[in-house]
A = this chain, B = another copy of it.
C-alpha cells in the first residue's frame, strides 16, 4: 500500500491557524490529526484524546527516554510532545496526518521525517496582524507589542517551510491547504502501485 504523508503546520498567534485547520478537516475528513501528549492539568471543556493526551510527568519522561517522541518542549514547568507511534501508524495505513506544532517543533520533526511537508500559515499583512492581536480583550500596548514581536519572530522562520498559506479568508486558506494535501497524494512516490499495475501485465 502507498504510504500517507505528514503535514507539519505552524503559524503565529494572529495567523488564524486553528480556524483554518478546522475548515481543512471539514474539507478532508479522512485526514488524521496528531494528538499531542502533555503534562499540564486538563482544563474545563477539554476532552482526553481530542487535541491532547494528558499524562503524568513520569510517563512523559519515560516516553522521552524510550525515544517515543518526535519532538517536545517545556513551558512553565509542563511538557508538551508529539508521540511518534500514532504518526507511524497513520502513514503506514496510507492516511495523511496533520501535525500542528511551533517553529522549533517543526524543525525537529522535519529532521526526523524528511518527507514531511511543512506549511506555514501567515497573516495577510503587518497591519492585519496587529489588528488581530490587538482585539483580544486587552488594550495594554506593551502586551500587544510583545505578542507582535513573538509573531514576527515566528514569521522570520517561514522561509524554511515548504509552503506558505496566507490567511486573508478562512475558506480560501483552507482550500490552499487542501490543494497542498491533494497534490501530495499525486507525488510519484505515492503512485508506484498504479505504475506497476499498468506495467506488470506486459
Contact = CB atoms under 8 A, between A and B. Distances in A.
Interface stretch (A31-39, A63-71, A135-143, A180-188): A180-188
Contact of A183 (B160, B163, B198): B163
A123 B198 contact: yes
Contacts of A126: 197-202
A161 to B, nearest CB: 6
A129 interface: yes
B163 A195 contact: no
Query: How many copies of this chain are found per oligomer?
Result: 2
Contacts of A161: 188
Nearest to A119: B186
A202 B160 CA distance: 20
B194 A164 contact: yes
Nearest to A194: B166
Given A125-B198, A162-B187, A162-B188, 16 more contacts: A122-B198, A124-B194, A124-B198, A126-B197, A152-B198, A152-B202, A158-B188, A159-B192, A159-B195, A163-B187, A163-B188, A164-B186, A165-B186, A176-B183, A179-B182, A180-B186
Contact of A163 (B155, B186, B198, B199): B186
Interface residues of A, number: 41
A189 B184 CA distance: 18
A76 to B, nearest CB: 27
A191 interface: yes
A156 interface: yes
Nearest to A123: B198
